[in-house]
Amino acid sequence: MSRPTRALIDLPSLRHNYQQARNLAPNALSMAVVKADGYGHGLVTVARALADLAPRFAVACREEADTLRAAGLNQPVVLLEGVHAAADYGVCRAQGYIPFVHHQSQLDWLAAIADQRPLRVWVKVNTGMNRLGFAPDEVAAVVARLTALGNVTVEGLATHFAQADAPDLVPTQRQVAVMNRLVAECPGLGLSLSNSAGHLAGLTLVEQWTRPGIMLYGSTPLLHRTAEQLGLQPAMTLESALISVRALAPGDEVGYGATWRATHAGRMGVVAIGYGDGYPRHAPSGTPVWVRGTRAPLIGRVSMDMLAVDLSHLPQAEVGDRVELWGANVSVDEVAGLAGTIGYELLTGLTPRVPRVITRG
C-alpha cells in the first residue's frame, strides 16, 4: 500500500464557501482568488470547481493565469500584482488577463508599447497598507495617463485592507472613505475593496468587484470568529495514518531533542506526516489530531516525515488507523494558532509530496 498521507479536496465545500462570499456581497460580483495553487488546494482543481459560479479568477502573476488557460479555463483572470515585464502586456492582451497597475514602472512600460489591441486594467491605490499602489493624490493623473493611451480601459480602482480581520474596523473604514472619495472624483470607474475579511465584516456594499480568497477554502480570516461560526466548510482534510504503536514507560522521552517525557505508563503512535509535507514543525506538544473519533495530542517535536501522538486514552488504536491532521474535526486555524501562524500559511505550505485527492462530498 502507498503512503497514507493525502489532502482530500472537497468540491461541494468550495462551492458552498464561494456562495457564502456571494451572499455577503449582494451588490457586487466576486472574483475567486485562486493564487498560490488555489491556496494549496490545486489551482486548476479549484478553478474548475468554481468555473460555473465565478465570473472571474484572481491570481498573483501571469504564470498562474497561464496555468488556468492551459487547463482550458477561459474566464478573465485578474493579475493582482500586475505584470513583471513589459512584454507581459502582450500576453495579457492576447489572453484576456486584467492586470493591476500599481507602480510607475508598470505605467511606463504600458505607455512605451505600441499595441492597439484592447487591454483592461485596474489601478491599485495605497490607502494605508503600504505594500503596493499609487498614493491617493496620484490616482487622477494615473487614470488620465492610462486613458490617454487610447487602447487601455481602466475598469476601476482597487485597494487592499490591512486590518479588516480585527474587531476594530475604524482603520478599515478610513481606507474605504479614501476610496469613496476617489471614485467620486473619477466618475465611471468601478471599485474593488474586499478580501474575505471585508466580506465578513460587512464592507462590500459600495464596491463592484470583491476578491474573496481564504474564506473559499473554509478557513477564517478573522481573529475573533472561527470558520464554523462563519458558516464556512473546510475544503481540505489533511489525513494520514498510524504506522507504529508502542507502549510508553514512565520517563520515556519522545522525538528529537527529547522535548516530551512520559509521566506515566501509556501508549503512543507515530503518524506518517511531518514538516516535509507542510505540517508545521512549530506545532507544540498538545496540538490535537483526530483519531478513532476523538482528539489525541501531539507529543515531542515534529520530524520531517513523521510525528508522534499520545494514545494513552485509546487502548484500541492500532497501526493503520486514519488520523486527521486538519479538517472538519480539528480546524486548520486551530493548528495554525497553536503553531504561531495562520491558516493561510499552512494551506499554501502543503508540499507537492502530499497528493491532492478530489472528493465530491
Binding positions for ligand PLP, rule: CB under 6 A: 33, 80, 160, 195-197, 211-215, 221
Between 196 and 287, CB nearer to ligand PLP? 196
CB of 243 to ligand PLP, least distance (A): 34
Between 213 and 288, CB nearer to ligand PLP? 213
CB of 295 to ligand PLP, least distance (A): 28
CB atoms within 10 A of CB 243: 19
Active-site annotation holds for 89: no
Between 7 and 197, CB nearer to ligand PLP? 197
18, 35, 97, 217: the active-site residue: 35
Q: Where are the beta strands (DSSP E) in the chain?
A: 6-10, 29-33, 56-59, 77-79, 97-101, 119-124, 152-158, 190-192, 209-210, 236-248, 253-254, 260-261, 266-271, 288-291, 294-299, 307-310, 322-326, 356-359
DSSP class of residue 133 equals S
Active-site annotation holds for 97: no
CB of 278 to ligand PLP, least distance (A): 18
Q: Which residue is nearest to ligand PLP (CB)?
A: 213
Measured in residues, the chain has a length of 361
- Class of residue 29 by CB neighbours under 10 A (exposed 0-12, middle 13-18, buried 19+): middle
Between 47 and 299, CB nearer to ligand PLP? 47
CB of 347 to ligand PLP, least distance (A): 10
18, 89, 217, 256: the active-site residue: 256
| Orientation of helix 139-148 relative to helix 170-185, angle to 10° | 40
Question: Catalytic positions, please?
Answer: 35, 256
